[in-house]
Each structure stands twice: as C-alpha cells, then as structure tokens.
Amino acid sequence: MPDQEEPNTRGLFGGVFARGGVEADDAAWLQAMLDAEAGLARALERAGLAPAGAGEAVTAAARAEKFDPNELGGFAALTGNPVPGLARALARRVPQSAVGAVHRGATSQDIVDTAAMLLAKRAIGVMQADLARAAGAAAGLAETHRASIMIGRTLLQQAVPVTFGLVAAGWLTGVDEAREGLAAVGAQRLAVQFGGAAGTLASLGEAGPQVTALLAEELGLARPVLPWHTERLRIVDLGAALARVAAALGKIARDVTLLAQSEVGEVSEGSAISAGGAGGASPAGGGSADARSKDPQAPAPSPRRGGSSAMPHKRNPVAAIAILGCTRQVPGLLATLTAATEQELQRAAGAWHAEWEPLTALLRLTGSAASWAAELLSGLVVDTSRMAANLAATKGMPLAEHVASLLADVLGGVQAHDLVAEAGARAVSAGLPLRDVLLSVPKLEDRLLAAGVTAEQIDAALEPSGYLGSADAFITAALDAHQARENRHG
C-alpha cells in the first residue's frame, strides 16, 4: 500500500492514475535531465576533455531541488524545449573550472532523450517489482483453485465448466509474458542519445565515440550503434512494451469487474486501508453513528473502500476500476508515439516534441496499473460456494456438449447434436434440468433407450468435474513456466 499522503501529494487524480513508485512528473524529468548532464561531465573528464574534478562538481550541482521547473518552463517557450535554460542554470551553479564540462558536445535532444531513457529505466524497475508481486499472487490463486469449478463464459454467455485456477493461470501467463517484454526492452533498447548538432559529434572531433561509450557506462544505459535522433524505434519499442503490460493488467481487471457483479458474485476485492485512515475497514462508512449523533462537530468519517457517494450499500471493485481507468488511456498514447516516428532528416520539427507527454503518461499510467494490480490480486477474495451455486443454477445446460459427444458414438454427430438441442430448448422453455428432459420426454427417452444409452451414462456426462479436459495440465504448465522464469531471473 503506498504512503497515505500519496493521493494528496500527486494531485486530485493522483491516487488513481499516479499510484505506486513510478516517478514520471516534472521533478523526475528534471532530475533525469540533470543526471544526463552530470553523466556527460563525468564522461568528458574520463576522456580527458574536462579538468579533474569537473565531473564531481557538475554532479554535486545537478540536484533538481536547486532548480525552478516553472522558470525553466518559461525558457522552454523561447527555445522549444527546456534544455538550453537548464544548461545555462546548471553552468551558473558550478565552479568556473567546471563550466566547460556542462553540456559540452551535446544538443538539447541528447539530454531529453537520454533523460527519457533514464526515466524509463527507473520506472521499469519499479513496475517489475509490482508485476512480480501480482504474478506471485496469480500463481497462488491458480494453485489454490485448481479444482474450484465455475461456469466458463464465452461472448458473455454461459459456456462449459472451467476452474478458477485456470482463469488465474491465464492471468499469470499474461503478466509473465508482459514482464518478459518489459525486461527485454529495459536490457536492450534503453540507450544513451549523444550525437551533437546533427548526429556527427563534430565538436568533439575524433573523441565522440569514446565519450559516448563512457556516457553509456556512467548512466547504465546501452550504447547505440549511432545517434538515433530521428530513428525512433526505441521509443516505439518502449511504448509497445508498456502497452503489453497494460493489456495484461486490463484483462485481469475486466474479468474481476465481471465476476464481481452482484448477480455473479464469484470474486470480490479484499478490504484495504482507506486513503484517509490508518486502520482496517470501518462499518457503515468508516465511523460511529452514535459518536456523530452525540457530537455533531466530530469530523466526518473517511470514505470506505469501494463506497458510493449516493448509494450506501455499494462496494465497488475500486482496484479493478482504477486499473481499467489507467489501461484504457494507453492505446491512444501508443498511437501518438507511433505517429511521431516519421521525423525529418537530422532533427524533427514537432514530432519529437509530441513524444514527451504521451511517453510520460504511459510510464505513469502503466506504473499505476501495476501497483493497483499487485494489491488487487494479493487480496482477491474467491467465493467458491457462489461459483458452485451459479453452476448448479444452469441446470446442466453447459454440459450439453458433453452429452452430445456421448451420443455421437451411437447416433452420429448430427443426430446427437439435434437431439440435445431439442432437449435443451424444451428444458429452457419449461425451466427444467436438462437431465429431466432427456430422461422423461418419451420421444427423447425412446431414442436414448434404442441407442443403449443409460441414465447412469447421462448422469456421468452431466457431472461438471468430468468435463474439464486439460484444465489441470494447463495450470501446471503455467505454474511451471512461471517458476522457470523466476529461477532465471533470481
């Protein structure tokens, strides 16, 4: 659970859309740009292009709290980006002997792009921790509920029986595959940007490649083959990896909202500390009605988790809803990044600028969704008795396919299908169990007797536990794959 002050410090909507430890705001951007400038100064010193101590001096001055983002934003209106103002401000804060190491050889895009890579690297580390927690919880659900039978639903209609363990295994596999994609991007595609005015590093002479390598080492980023000012596949790859995470988490959240509906009631979100308090869930909205009636001046109770402003009886699936609120924004943001890849010659006129806010939002929203998902899956309450009741209420209809397959051996596929379809239609119209119709309607009963199909065989075909196919094997495969991944990554 994040710090209780987080919703206040991150703005009105921050508790939903900026939850967790991913930092992708102005302060984080500013520090990342300063880190890029400091890393460059250290690289220049190591290459013999800046005096001893210059790197340390610039690094000491490159602290975001020493700069005014609003002032830098004003300068950005004059230059099209905040880096020229930042470089000047940084130079004023270092000793004269180190001024020559500030921004030497770089262009504004070098600093912003490298900062974006640093921001992404830090965000990915936070997300991976939350996703690991979510995956671990999904694995626990899959193992615990291997044999928890429920009705499967296709096109939002009742289909055939499945197990909740298989549902959770599907969630697990999606999260693990998204984690792999994110890890690959983090390890291979986050590279420094250092090309100077037009991608030649002409101002550094022949030392350009050496400084690039040292800069990559200083910042813990990959060294690209050459500057990528207008070749934006790294940004697209990062955006796509984030979108894959959002897709996996959105799938889980959508399933939870459907299964948590009052009419379904098969899962619910666990209780959690409310944003305004430090204790467990409180009854009737979080406070004592008696205390309030005795002291009208007593502070109003904190909102309870899942509460409604108008309907006191409601307990909404807040975490699932918040995840969907985050993930629904992601496709449009990725589309903007993709559209911005068409960039002119050696520097884009607007397309590069169009990346900044969508990428920031992608990092923030995906990180928030991952944090919500870790809580959602760790506290998910599964009501197996409600699952059993919902399955029983279907009166055997979801097993019609199984019955048809039993009869196909003796009647042929088409005749078996038609017989069971006729029985199903009669059962639905009369509100009767499928078994009763199959074994009590003379026309159908006679055909079954003629085919040598016994009541015991029909009963067996209508037993949900006998028609789960490879569900258990699939759960095992998902858990084995998850464990193998954890072993590989320690």
Query: Quick one: tokens of 218?
Result: 């200083």
Residues 169, 475: contact at Cβ < 8 Å? yes
Look up residue 192 and give its two tokens: 């420094």
User: What does the alpha-carbon distance between residue 230 and residue 345 come to, in Å, rounded to a whole number?
Assistant: 7
Name the token pair of 165: 């363990």
- CA atoms of 195 and 207, how far apart (whole Å): 12
Active site residue 347: yes
User: What long-range pairs does 445-451 form, CB within 8 A, spacing at least 24?
Assistant: 447/411, 447/419, 448/407, 451/407, 451/410, 451/411
DSSP 190-206: -B----TTTTS-GGGGG
| Extended beta strands in 193-339, E state | 267-268
Instruction: Give the C-alpha separation, 205 to 23, whole Å.
Output: 37
Taking the CA atoms of residue 419, residue 424, residue 425 and residue 426 in that order, the dihedral angle to the nearest 10 degrees is: 90
Q: Residue 159 has what DSSP assignment?
A: E
Residue of 308, 385, 440, 470 marked catalytic:
308
Extract long-range pairs of 459-462: CB within 8 Å, 24+ residues apart. 459/435, 461/399, 461/402, 461/403, 461/405, 461/406, 462/396, 462/399, 462/402, 462/403, 462/434, 462/435
Q: What is the C-alpha radius of gyration for the chain, rounded to an integer number of angstroms?
A: 30
Tokens representing 161 are 């029986």
| CA-CA-CA-CA dihedral for 302, 305, 310, 316, to nearest 10 | 170
Residue listed under structure tokens 């599907």: 170
Catalytic option among 223, 254, 347, 485: 347
The candidate with the shortest Cα–Cα distance to 376, out of 169, 131, 24, 166, is: 131
Q: 165: Cβ–Cβ under 8 A, 6 or more apart, which residues?
A: 141, 142, 143, 144, 145, 146, 147, 148, 471, 472, 475
149-154 and 157-163 strand pairing: antiparallel
Which residues are identified as catalytic? 308, 347
